[in-house]
Amino acid sequence: MNPLVQIYLATIAAILLGAGLLQLIPKLGNVGRKFSNWLCYAPALDIVVFYFTALPAVIAAFVAGWLGLAVAVVGQFTGMLLWTTLHELAHPAARKGPRIFPTLNKIVGRWRNHFAVWWTAWAVPGFWMIRLVQYFAYPVITWTVRFPKYRDREWINLSRHKFNGLVGYDLIWCLYCDWMTGVWSLGSEMLRNVESFWCPIRFDSTKKCDHCKGDFPDIVGGWIKSDGTMEEVQSLLKSKYQSGQKSNSWFGHPARLTIEGEEIEGED
């Protein structure tokens, strides 16, 4: 059999087998339910997501180069299409009931909706890059300049599968959004510390400040105006960050609101 055909079929089989196991595990009694719940939280969740989104392509690229990678990606899409179809057939009542995808298909058009949602798959490598930074870059910063630590499981987890009525397309894309929203939110939280600690100066563009203040509240909660002075910046840093304090978090972080002597949020 042609090696590329083997890669394609093996990828489909891996996707279907992995999805089947995830559905089977919760049915294995109390131990199975606990293990399934453990898989819904980082770092175990990262292993699961890596298995479905990256591992087949990585192995295929190693075996057959760029062409193998492309074939594996097609296999991943095929496996996902097969799983969504089988999952919907296994839940006929939910499939025929109120759904997200059919509703959006009517609003924007079936092909537009499907094309757009599949097009978002381009973002997966980007989210993995953010996740790798969270694993390997941010912990070093927490050690060197005492940025607050975070419990990844409080951000990177899945729960939408518990919502009644989600099947097939609705379920798989809601889980995808569930994961990527947590990754993005944790990354934003980490970046707030970076910005307020090293660059607490407002942007010269009023529009940019308005656009960014939702993600970076310290823009209006402490950063020095763009026409300010370096003396003001220095004074701000001295007032917000004292030598020896446990956590050099962004100004509005809850850690700054804790009573002295209590454990700072996010600290081990």
221-247 pLDDT, tens digit per residue, is 899 999 999 999 999 999 988 887 788
The predicted model scores a pTM of 0.87
Give residue 245's pLDDT.
79
CA distance 126 to 32: 32
Please tell me the predicted confidence (pLDDT) of residue 7. Answer: 95
**Length in residues, the chain:** 268
In the structure encoding, which two tokens stand for residue 77, read together?
Answer: 């899409």
175 versus 266: the higher-pLDDT residue is: 175
pLDDT at residue 181 tops 60:
yes
Local confidence band at 104 (pLDDT 50, 70, 90 cut-offs): very high
The proportion of the chain whose per-residue pLDDT surpasses 70, expressed as a percent, equals 94
Instruction: Give mean pLDDT, residues 49-74.
Output: 94
The 10s digit of each residue's pLDDT in 126-170 is 999 999 999 999 999 999 999 999 999 999 999 999 898 899 989
d(CA 142, CA 193): 10
Sorted by where each begins, the domain ranges of the chain are: 3-189, 199-257
The per-residue pLDDT for 256 is 58
Q: What is the mean pLDDT of residues 15-31?
A: 94
The answer to whether residue 255 scores a pLDDT higher than 70 is no
Residue 200 has pLDDT above 50, yes or no: yes
Residue indicated by tokens 């390997």: 136
What mean pLDDT is predicted for residues 4-31? Answer: 95
Q: How many CB atoms lie within 10 A of CB 212?
A: 16
